[in-house]
Amino acid sequence: MINLEVPRKLTTLVDQARQAAMAFLRPNSRKYDQAEHTYPKELDTLASLLDGLSASGGGAGAGGVRRSGSGKSTANLSLVLGTMEMCWGDAGLLLSMPRQGLGNAAIASVASEEQLARYKGKWAAMAITEPDTGSDSGAIRTTAVRDGDHYVLNGEKIFVTSGERADCVVVWATLDRSLGKAAIKSFVVDRDTPGFELVRLEHKLGIRASDTAHFRLDNCRVPASNLLGTPEIKPDQGFAGVMQTFDNTRPLVAAMAVGITRAALEETRRLLTSAGVEIDYDKPANNQHAAAAAFLDMEADYESMYLLTLQAAWMADNRKPNSLQASYAKAKAGRSATAITLRCVELCGSLGYTEHELLEKWSRDAKIMDIFEGTQQIQQLIIARRLLGKTSAQLK
């Protein structure tokens, strides 16, 4: 039976994450939204605190959790709960946190023990998307050709979160295009590697505190030991190794959406209450003020995305296959966060639309949660394949 209650032993972690969000992230939210591409120096102190928490078994950032060992764990759940709290503060600043990148989650998912030790303490970004592939990760064109003790990488990567600031980037490339998804592997590329060129930084709708990079790989030589996982191509396993990374990171993105949504709902409740709108949980919604009824509807939607996210994390901690649930959480949270934050802007009128409050910013930040780590449409396709028992070739 799945237990969706927050374990008592995690309450301290949640409190610490909330305090960090209140002290560091929320006060600097507007500042770095307006100062796009400026590195938030305030995060250095906070990152050191998070490193200490991680070392003691906690951690509240967006770094990776490795599935290993036996017995029950709360590692994924603690990471998801911490991420929710931090994104209540500011999602863009969390994504800018040193050593808490999605690339770290990829390394944690599939790296060997030697690689885990080698990249410990490194800040890793993740490079999947390409100009011609969009959401189809299986159509990656960046190539990796073995040359002695190295692989030579050629291609382009776009929308790389924290690409400029990270120490290294996890680059997905194919060993053989003719073999399809089974030949796609991930490589850790150090930022100062010759042939690894930063083309530009993107100007974005939301999460503007976080830098988003476009890279070109031109005969970029990477040590063979930097390949994550096995170099062997196993057609029968298909995309399994790569998808394990998504099974870990998609609940994290869902958690980010949950945090943003809760922030918007709390602020909307405050503004509605100050305007004299009473929200009564003992009355039917249709017997209340229209704004109160809308708020109750949004809260119910929020609860569903929250619970689906906890479910995906709980299953990972209990070593249960969670690919379907990870997509459930990501799809629901991405869609609901976008809809709810925009409705909050609408309900609060001019206060929601202007920069007097953070509501308009949260609505901008929320949209990316419906896009990166697999778009809404891709999640629905994955869910349909799983429920219908179809392969990617049978259902496109």
Nearest CA to 366 out of 257, 235, 211, 279 is that of 257
Instruction: Give 113-152 as a DSSP string.
Output: HHHHHHTTT--EEEE---TTTTT-GGG---EEEEETTEEE
Distances (CA, A) of 371 to 22, 117, 133, 330: 27, 32, 14, 10
Tokens of 371: 């896009």
The verdict on whether 373 is a catalytic residue reads yes
Who contacts 102 (Cβ-Cβ below 8 Å, separation ≥6)? 62, 125, 126, 161, 249, 252, 373
- β 184-190/143-147 pair status: unpaired
Q: Where in the chain does DSSP place strands (E)?
A: 124-127, 143-147, 150-161, 168-174, 184-190, 196-201, 212-223, 227-228
Three-state secondary-structure class, residue 338: helix
Dihedral through CA 91, CA 248, CA 303, CA 24, nearest 10? -30
Q: How many CB atoms lie within 10 A of CB 178?
A: 6
SS3 275: coil
Token pair 């709108």 in the structure block, residue: 277
φ, ψ at 288 (rounded to 5°): -120, 175
Q: Which residue has the tokens 């500011």?
A: 90
Measured CA to CA, the distance from residue 383 to residue 156 in angstroms comes to 29
**Active-site residue, from 85, 130, 156, 373:** 373
- Say if strands 168-174 and 124-127 run parallel, antiparallel, or are unpaired: parallel
The b-or-e profile of 314-335 (16+ CB within 10 A means b, else e) is: bbbbbeeebbbbbbbbbbbbbb
Over the Cα atoms of the chain, what is R_g?
Answer: 21
Residue numbers annotated as active site? 373
